[in-house]
């Protein structure tokens, strides 16, 4: 059920400001793709335009074509909520809903989309928490508030919440940047596990992480502040980190700039 | 040369000794006792005031003495710290003082008529020489008028605030926000006059064979006008405090915007919203002028808020306090106490209700 994502010549604007320019890339199903690059180079903007989350900001719009299994998600008759159910997202800072318990957090997506049957919800909660490697830690306190967990547990809770609605693609926007190394490891293990079922795209500032987890890597960069971000190189992770084609990529991953 | 190897420049504030001398508690208390004695000697000796002035002068003397003693023992910085701390505590005490005084006065004077008769009878057929008479009709009036006003103002106010925060863009939202701000400053008598001119004189004759009619509902319309801006602004502030990532988290699950607002944003902001609503309710319950203008006030029990004059607790206090009967002031005090307790109970109930939805930590 994982799907192929194809971006062709995607440019994104905030009002009159052009954030990214002419991005074209294809993401194969059941792979992990890492997007790396310096701050402000548009990788998060690109990620957020894949499930139309950038539209939350007023004045945001996009040019070009973004398809998921050949359906253009920016067609005028597309239901945004359906797109977001199909393409889930995990954010930089864990954002469990503070008024909900752990259980309610996990099934929030199902419940708020109209699933009422208790057995279905219970089943989904257990399955998602197990998939997120969190079940053993929280199974005795499912009714405690989700905000009471540690940062790493909260982030895994958010991942469980995301996969509970059975998306086909999971987008991760620096999911480990607020976490300690142990929690980071837990989430990276989790990503390998989820790869069997989902297409995963992850934005990260941590190049070791990109090298460890991803199959393919895209390197974004900007010439200078105020210019739109561009995709410099997109290739197998192995190649990007050992023998990149572009000079800029090599400079970045060897730490010579950025 | 790395940063770590740099030699100190000599401008640092590094002390050689990290210990400091402390002003002992005995000296502190001594200064306080001295201040009181000195102040008593000055004030009572000169015969210029009573114990209130003694306390005020003693406080001032204590501050001066404390500063002097502390700067001798601990140095100037520590002395300044002590003075500011003392000033802040005094300000806190001064702020609580009027409140405590109000509560004490209400209870001590209101207890005289705090009996069953007060809460079960009205002022119907109570003459100037009757020691009895109660506020049952006024309590009914306050509950009905404030209840109806809350029923109208809360949905309007909360929905208006949701519009301003979640949907409102551009000129229209700015205009709405501006007029809400303007409405905040409307004197209650103006709200009363507006309802008198609009509802009582123009609309109510349609329902009453052409004759204008006072009613509790007219009063609740005026109270709604007064409550609306408070509710809109406080709810707006609370909704703005809900972090954006929470909304995004819900959107990313494919939850539509209206459901995100209803199930994620509102519950998160609920305790604050309830506080704002209770402030508005408390204000409305204490309003006298609009009730006097459009509900007229009545001595008898009138359960129907839509027909005929009604009283309210605030109006009852106003009328009894100005009454010539020697039994009236006691009724006014008890009614005032009742009003305060009523608002307090409502506030506590609302808070408990709002907290029930929160998870225990």
For the segment A3-29, the average pLDDT, to the nearest whole number, is: 90
For the segment A228-238, the average pLDDT, to the nearest whole number, is: 90
> In this complex, do B264 and A109 lie within 8 Å of one another by their Cβ atoms?
no
d(Cα B243, Cα B245) in Å, to the nearest integer?
6
User: What pLDDT, in 10s, does the model give residues A122-133?
Assistant: 999 999 998 888
Which is nearest to A131 in space by CA: A160, A100, A155, A91?
Answer: A160
Q: What is the CATH number of domain B119-356?
A: 1.10.3720.10
Nearest CA in chain A to B168: A58
- ipTM of the predicted structure? 0.89
User: What pLDDT, in 10s, does the model give residues B134-159?
Assistant: 899 999 999 999 999 999 999 999 99
Instruction: Identify the DSSP state of A228.
Output: P
> In this complex, do B243 and A58 lie within 8 Å of one another by their Cβ atoms?
no
For the segment B91-111, the average pLDDT, to the nearest whole number, is: 94
Alpha carbon B156 to its chain centroid, in Å, reads 22
CA atoms within 13 A on the CB side of B96: 6
Which is nearest to B230 in space by CA: B296, B161, B151?
Answer: B161
Residue of B169, B247, B268 with shortest CB distance to A99: B268
pLDDT score recorded for residue B361: 44
Q: What are the Cα distances from residue A87, in Å, to A53, A163, B166?
A: 10, 10, 24
pLDDT tier, A193 (very low <50, low <70, confident <90, very high otherwise): confident
Residue of A81, A93, A148 with shortest CB distance to B255: A81
Nearest chain B CA: its distance from A249 CA (Å): 30
Give me A51's structure tokens.
């499930």
The winner for highest mean pLDDT among A69-73, B79-83, B96-100 is B96-100
> In this complex, do A84 and B250 lie within 8 Å of one another by their Cβ atoms?
no
> In this complex, do B254 and A145 lie within 8 Å of one another by their Cβ atoms?
no
pLDDT score recorded for residue B51: 85
pLDDT tier, A117 (very low <50, low <70, confident <90, very high otherwise): very high
Helix axes B136-162, B313-321, angle to 10 degrees: 130
> Nearest 5 degrees, angle CA B261-CA A17-CA A12?
65
Contact between B63 and B83 under an 8 Å Cβ cutoff? The reply is: yes
**Residue B324 pLDDT exceeds 90:** no
d(Cα A136, Cα A132) in Å, to the nearest integer?
10
Alpha carbon B94 to its chain centroid, in Å, reads 17
d(Cα A224, Cα B65) in Å, to the nearest integer?
63
Which is nearest to A85 in space by CA: A59, A63, A114, A65?
Answer: A114
> Nearest 5 degrees, angle CA B120-CA B124-CA B125?
125
Beta bridge partners of A5: A27, A68
Which is nearest to A30 in space by CA: A5, A2, A57?
Answer: A2
> In this complex, do B264 and A99 lie within 8 Å of one another by their Cβ atoms?
yes
**Residue A187 pLDDT exceeds 80:** yes
**Domains detected in chain A:** 5-95+169-253 (3.40.50.300)
Residue of B250, B267, B361 with shortest CB distance to A145: B361
Residue with tokens 């225990």: B360
For the segment A182-204, the average pLDDT, to the nearest whole number, is: 88
**Residue B284 pLDDT exceeds 60:** yes
Nearest chain A CA: its distance from B353 CA (Å): 14
Q: What are the Cα distances from residue B319, in Å, to A224, B110, B134, B327?
A: 75, 16, 13, 12
Q: Tell me the H-state helices in chain A.
A: 43-50, 80-86, 102-112, 118-131, 135-138, 151-164, 181-194, 207-213, 237-242, 247-253
3-class secondary structure, B361 = coil
d(Cα A89, Cα A50) in Å, to the nearest integer?
10
3-class secondary structure, A258 = coil
Looking at beta carbons, which residues of chain A come within 8 Å of B359?
A: 99-101, 143-145
User: What pLDDT, in 10s, does the model give residues B171-200?
Assistant: 999 999 999 999 998 999 999 999 999 999
Looking at beta carbons, which residues of chain B come within 8 Å of A143?
A: 359
3-class secondary structure, A224 = coil
Question: Using DSSP, how many helices (H) and how many strands (E) does chain B show?
Answer: 15, 0
In SS3 terms, B259-280 reads as: HHHHHHHHHHHHHHHHHHHHHH
Looking at beta carbons, which residues of chain B come within 8 Å of A95?
A: 243, 245-246, 248-249
**Residue B1 pLDDT exceeds 50:** no
Domain with CATH 1.10.3720.10 in chain B: 119-356
Nearest chain A CA: its distance from B240 CA (Å): 15
Best residue in B170, B249, B265 to probe A by mutation, most A CBs within 10 Å?
Answer: B249
Q: Tell me the H-state helices in B163-215.
A: 170-184, 188-195, 204-207
Average pLDDT, chain B: 89
Instruction: Identify the DSSP state of B157.
Output: H
Contact between A192 and A185 under an 8 Å Cβ cutoff? The reply is: no
Which is nearest to B251 in space by CA: A112, A120, A92?
Answer: A112
pLDDT score recorded for residue B19: 77
pLDDT score recorded for residue A147: 87
> In this complex, do A95 and B246 lie within 8 Å of one another by their Cβ atoms?
yes
Nearest CA in chain B to A96: B246
Looking at beta carbons, which residues of chain A come within 8 Å of B248?
A: 53, 56, 89, 91, 95
Q: Which residues of B touch A (CB under 8 A)?
A: 169, 243-256, 259-260, 263-264, 267-268, 270, 357-361
Radius of gyration of chain A (CA): 18
Residue with tokens 């003075």: B83
Give me A193's structure tokens.
């596990």
Cβ-based burial of A251 (10 A; exposed 0-12, middle 13-18, buried ≥19): middle
User: What pLDDT, in 10s, does the model give residues B299-320?
Assistant: 888 889 888 899 999 999 999 9
Nearest CA in chain B to A163: B253
3-class secondary structure, B105 = helix
**Residue A44 pLDDT exceeds 70:** yes
User: What pLDDT, in 10s, does the model give residues B196-249?
Assistant: 999 999 998 888 888 888 999 999 999 999 999 999 999 999 999 999 999 999
**Residue B14 pLDDT exceeds 70:** no
> In this complex, do A108 and B357 lie within 8 Å of one another by their Cβ atoms?
no
pLDDT tier, B13 (very low <50, low <70, confident <90, very high otherwise): low
**Residue A137 pLDDT exceeds 80:** yes
Q: What are the Cα distances from residue A200, in Å, to A166, B73, B317?
A: 13, 67, 69
For the segment B260-267, the average pLDDT, to the nearest whole number, is: 93
Which is nearest to B152 in space by CA: B271, B281, B276?
Answer: B281
- Say what percent of chain B tops pLDDT 70: 94
- Say what percent of chain B tops pLDDT 90: 61
For the segment A65-91, the average pLDDT, to the nearest whole number, is: 90
Put residue A235 in one of left, alpha, beta given phi > 0 → left and psi -120 to 50 → alpha: beta
């Amino acid at each position: 059920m994982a799907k192929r994502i194809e971006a062709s010549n995607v440019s994104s604007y905030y009002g009159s400001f052009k954030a990214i320019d002419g991005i074209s890339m294809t993401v194969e199903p059941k792979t992990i793709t890492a997007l790396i690059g310096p701050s402000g180079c548009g990788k998060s903007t690109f990620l957020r335009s894949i499930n139309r989350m950038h539209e939350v900001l007023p004045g945001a719009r996009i040019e070009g074509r973004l398809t998921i299994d050949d359906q253009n998600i920016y067609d005028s008759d597309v239901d945004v909520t359906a797109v977001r159910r199909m393409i889930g997202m995990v954010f930089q800072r864990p954002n469990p809903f503070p008024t909900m318990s752990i259980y309610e957090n996990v099934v929030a997506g199902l419940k708020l989309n109209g699933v009422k049957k208790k057995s279905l919800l219970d089943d989904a909660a257990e399955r998602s928490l197990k998939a997120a490697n969190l079940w053993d830690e929280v199974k005795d306190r499912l009714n405690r508030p989700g905000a009471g967990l540690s940062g790493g547990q909260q982030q895994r809770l958010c991942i469980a919440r995301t996969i509970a609605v059975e998306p086909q693609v999971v987008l991760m926007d620096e999911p480990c940047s607020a976490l300690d190394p142990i929690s980071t490891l837990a989430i990276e293990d989790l990503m390998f596990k989820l790869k069997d079922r989902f297409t995963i795209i992850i934005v990260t500032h941590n190049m070791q992480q990109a090298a460890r987890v991803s199959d393919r890597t895209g390197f974004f960069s900007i010439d200078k502040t105020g210019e739109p971000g561009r995709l410099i190189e997109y290739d197998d992770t192995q190649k990007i980190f050992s023998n990149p084609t572009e000079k800029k990529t090599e400079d970045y991953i060897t730490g010579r700039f950025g | 040369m790395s940063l770590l190897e740099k030699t100190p420049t000599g401008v640092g504030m590094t002390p050689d000794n990290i210990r400091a001398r402390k002003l002992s508690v005995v000296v502190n208390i001594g200064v306080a006792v001295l201040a009181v004695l000195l102040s008593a000697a000055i004030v009572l000796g000169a015969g210029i005031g009573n114990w209130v002035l003694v306390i005020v002068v003693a406080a001032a003397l204590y501050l001066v003495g404390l500063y002097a003693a502390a700067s001798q023992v601990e140095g100037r910085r520590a002395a300044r710290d002590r003075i500011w701390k003392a000033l802040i505590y005094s300000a806190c005490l001064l702020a609580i003082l009027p409140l405590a005084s109000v509560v004490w006065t209400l209870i001590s004077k209101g207890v005289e008529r705090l009996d069953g008769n007060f809460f079960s009878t009205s002022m119907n057929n109570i003459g100037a020489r009757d020691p009895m008479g109660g506020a049952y009709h006024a309590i009914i009036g306050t509950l009905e008028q404030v209840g109806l006003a809350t029923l109208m103002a809360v949905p309007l106010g909360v929905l208006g605030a949701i519009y301003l925060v979640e949907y409102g863009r551009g000129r229209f939202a700015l205009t709405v926000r501006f007029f809400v701000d303007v409405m905040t400053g409307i004197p209650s008598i103006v709200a009363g006059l507006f309802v008198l001119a609009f509802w009582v004189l123009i609309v109510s004759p349609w329902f009453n064979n052409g004759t204008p009619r006072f009613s509790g509902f007219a009063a609740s319309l005026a109270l709604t006008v007064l409550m609306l801006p408070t509710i809109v602004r406080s709810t707006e502030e609370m909704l703005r405090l809900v972090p954006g990532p929470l909304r995004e988290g819900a959107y990313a699950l494919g939850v539509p915007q209206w459901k995100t607002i209803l199930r994620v944003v509102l519950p998160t902001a609920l305790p604050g919203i309830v506080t704002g609503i209770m402030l508005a309710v408390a204000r409305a319950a204490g309003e006298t002028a609009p009730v006097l203008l459009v509900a007229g006030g009545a001595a008898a029990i009138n359960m129907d808020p839509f027909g005929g004059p009604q009283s309210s607790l605030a109006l009852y206090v106003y009328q009894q306090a100005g009454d010539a009967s020697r039994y009236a002031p006691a009724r006014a005090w008890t009614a005032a106490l009742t009003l305060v307790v009523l608002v307090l109970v409502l506030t506590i109930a609302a808070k408990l209700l709002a907290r029930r939805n929160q998870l225990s930590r």
